[in-house]
Amino acid sequence: MAERRGLLCFGSFTRDDWALLWQREQAVLTRLANRFEIYYVERFATRQPKPAALVRAVGRRLLTQRKRSGVIDRDGLHLIDPGVGLFHGTRSWRRRNSRTLARAIESAWPRDLRQSVLWIYNPSYLALELLERTAGQWERTVYDCVERFEFNRSYPPDIGEIDREIARHVDVVFADSRTIFEEKKPLNPATHFVPPGLDVERFIWEGVNRTLPDELRWRKKPMLGYHGAWHHAFDDELVTTTLEAITDSRFFFVGPTFGRERQMRKHCPSAVFLGPRDHLRLGRYVNGFDICLIPYRRNALTEGVFPSKFFEYVATGLPIVSTDLPDLREYGEWVALARDRREFVEKVQAASDQPRRAPQLIRPFVERQSWGRRLEQMLDLLRLDPGE
């Protein structure tokens, strides 16, 4: 009988925003679930909470009576609940609390599981503490780095130091942008560039994806569309400028906005916010657009962003207009890049006359970018035995 193998993942979500699991993380973990039993450690709050938020959190924890570490099964993943440690607030608190949390995680790990892979998405003192405590116990340790964390204001000021230390300690680093690859390679020679992928059949202009959702079917054109979360990279002012310049256009935002759209809605009544949609049906929405947008800010954070939505947009055959992001420059055949707001508006206006590309012209390219291909590449670089 084959030995049971486990994968411990330090991930990106909290139990309150499970649906916001990074798409790369979701795509990789669901495929790895065929080979490993996956145990997931949620992301803890990254900044010191305000007193009111702290009181509410303490109250919730007391009411739910979660006092001991344990495992919660959800959506095919085993969520490890350490049962302690509400926040990772100040630096000294995080360091001290990480030792307690690491011990709780170790105690919750099933004893009959072979410790196979430690896979880190979200850097933290906790991930670093466990990485150091369990050195030599894993077949492989991985840091799948998807962001220049030190430039994200949602993280504490010392996140860059943690990020670099984790990169030095792991066996393999996967970087999803060339900028991140160039930064991590000097820290760890086993750093590899693995860009985002896509599920081809969910987005290509064939089959069910030709049936538009009722929410889009009767809308006026041209429809400018974006799918994804409203995060630090999203430039709402750029979208507002575009809508003001192209007065007959409509803008559709598919994804969570966290209430940030209220101000934009006042100035842009033609903007429609549909909220999150199941990724299984997302292709029907994206194929309902006329032009796909990647309206990102230009700053230190987005210099290291490879938009996970890019290849999904390509699969639809629709014209794509994006801010000039370094990782998209080699794909000029598929996307129009704009260096400033004026140019962005011009590119959108020009794209309105472009026809949709036929699926047979697109499929060979997007199939080379599939998540299946990406995972094969990762496993090959990890050199893991089949475990059969």
pLDDT per residue as tens digits for the range 323-356: 999 999 999 999 999 999 999 999 999 999 899 9
* DSSP-assigned beta bridge partners for residue 175: 145, 193
Top pLDDT among 211 and 4 is at: 211
Rounded mean pLDDT, 361-387 = 90
Tell me the pLDDT band of 20, cut-offs 50, 70 and 90: low
Give a yes or no: residue 133 inside a domain: yes
Supply the angle between the helices 23-32 and 371-382 in degrees, to the nearest 10: 70
Residues 73 and 188 in one domain: yes
Confirm if 300 and 151 have CB atoms less than 8 A apart. yes
**Residue 388, domain member (yes or no):** no
Tokens of 169: 């300690």
Separation between Cα atoms, residue 166 and residue 153, nearest integer Å: 20
Residues present in the chain in total = 388
pLDDT at residue 388 in the model = 44
Mean pLDDT value of segment 1-19: 70
Is 287 domain-assigned? yes
Residue predicted with more confidence, 68 or 11:
11
Token reading at 248: 């007959």
Three-state SS letters, 355-366: CCCCHHHHHHHH
Q: Are residues 167 and 204 in the same domain?
A: no
Q: In the structure encoding, which two tokens stand for residue 297, read together?
A: 């800010």
Considering Cα of 124, then 38, then 75, then 212, what sign does the dihedral take? positive
Does 387 fall in a domain? Answer: no
Distances (CA, A) of 86 to 7, 11, 108, 367: 24, 16, 17, 43
177 and 229 in a single domain? The answer is: no
Q: Where residue 23 falls among pLDDT bands split at 50, 70, 90?
A: confident
Task: Decide: helix, strand or coil at residue 276.
Answer: coil
CATH of the domain at 178: 3.40.50.2000
Residue 82 lies in a domain: yes
Q: What is the pLDDT of residues 215-271, one digit of tens each?
A: 887 777 789 999 998 988 999 999 999 999 998 899 999 998 888 888 888 888 889
Give the SS3 label for residue 213.
coil
Q: 225 and 175 share a domain?
A: no
Q: What is the dihedral of CA 239, 22, 290, 314, to 10 degrees?
A: 120
Under DSSP, the state recorded for 198 is: B
Query: Mapping DSSP to helix (H, G, I), strand (E, B) and coil, where does residue 204 land?
Result: coil
Statement to judge: residues 183 and 246 lie in one domain: no
pLDDT for the residue 175: 97
CA distance 54 to 60: 10
Cβ partners under 8 Å of residue 103, min gap 6: none
* Gap between the Cα atoms of 187 and 384, Å rounded: 23
State whether 222 and 314 are in the same domain: yes
Contacts of 18 (CB under 8 A, 6+ apart): 74, 75
Domain assignment present for 277: yes
> What confidence category does residue 205 fall into, taking pLDDT thresholds of 50, 70 and 90?
very high
pLDDT of residue 246: 92
Any domain includes 80: yes
Considering the domain architecture, whether residues 147 and 246 belong to the same structural domain is answered as: no
> Which H or E run includes 336?
strand 336-338
Would you put residue 191 in left (φ > 0), alpha (ψ -120 to 50) or beta? beta
pLDDT(387) > 60:
no
Average pLDDT over residues 175-195: 97
**Domain range enclosing 161:** 5-197+370-382
**342 lies in the same domain as 322:** yes
Residues 171 and 271 in one domain: no
Instruction: Say yes or no: 21 and 170 in one domain.
Output: yes
Residues 33 and 181 reside in one and the same domain = yes
What's the token pair of residue 3? Answer: 């030995």
Q: Which two tokens stand for residue 250?
A: 């409509």
181 and 220 inside one domain: no
Amino acid at 35: R
- Cα separation of 242 and 231, whole Å? 19
Domain count, the chain: 2
Q: Is 249 exposed, middle or buried (0-12, 13-18, 19+ CB in 10 A)?
A: buried
